Structure 1
């Protein structure tokens, strides 16, 4: 059930959204070891977000998962996310936050039940 959310002020074309979504999905598979079929990615481009009072490229990100949220994995995700955001969105690593959420199974619904 990993869910990767990226809110950004950078405007993106559909092809860029697809490319970013693929990169984030691959990142979750690589670091958290989660199956692709359960990974959801939400990218919201072109939002009114400022960072340090400027509208230069920035992002607010969340990674939500059942397990595998820990210091080691979070560090790996943060490092790789910095590369991805720079490559695709031209966002510097000091202009985004990522929040990590480790959900309890009973607090996540799917397919008419909970995990």
Structure 2
């Protein structure tokens, strides 16, 4: 049920892509306290993006999860920004993270919903 979308203006090699997808799936599931078997991650590299008036390396992340508590967002932001900095070399001050919480009835899976 958690979905992490990572967009960056950087080109990402196939090897780096596989590693980032694997590590972000595991980390996000751990930070949320959810089984990784529900975790979905998308990576969109080479997206035309600018931030603060420059096209220097930048990333935008969106994390959607059922019942995401506001008191978890700081630790999630810290962990996800550190992951992107470690894996892609993008400094934290050039990363935005958007959090979105959904009710179970607003999230579908296997032809049904979680609510």
Bin for the TM-score computed over the shorter chain: over 0.9
Q: How many residues align?
A: 114
C-alpha separation in 1, matches of 2:67 and 2:94: 27
The secondary structure found in structure 2 opposite 1:80 is: helix
Say if 2:7 and 2:60, in contact at 8 Å, map to a contact too: yes
Q: Tell me what 2:40 maps to.
A: 40
Q: Tell me what 1:93 maps to.
A: 92
C-alpha separation in 2, matches of 1:30 and 1:68: 14
> Which residues of 2 match residues 3-82 of structure 1 at below 5 A?
3-71=3-71, 73-82=72-81
How far the C-alpha of 1:39 sits from its partner, in A, is 0.4
C-alpha separation in 2, matches of 1:27 and 1:101: 18
Say if 2:68 and 2:102, in contact at 8 Å, map to a contact too: no
Greater than 6 Å deviation, 4+ residue runs = none
Say if 1:69 and 1:101, in contact at 8 Å, map to a contact too: no
C-alpha separation in 1, matches of 2:19 and 2:28: 15
Question: What is the TM-score normalised by the length of structure 2?
Answer: 0.94
> Which residues of 2 match residues 97-108 of structure 1 at below 5 A?
97-108=96-107
How far the C-alpha of 1:68 sits from its partner, in A, is 3.5
The secondary structure found in structure 1 opposite 2:21 is: helix
The secondary structure found in structure 2 opposite 1:46 is: coil
Say if 2:77 and 2:97, in contact at 8 Å, map to a contact too: yes
The secondary structure found in structure 1 opposite 2:78 is: helix
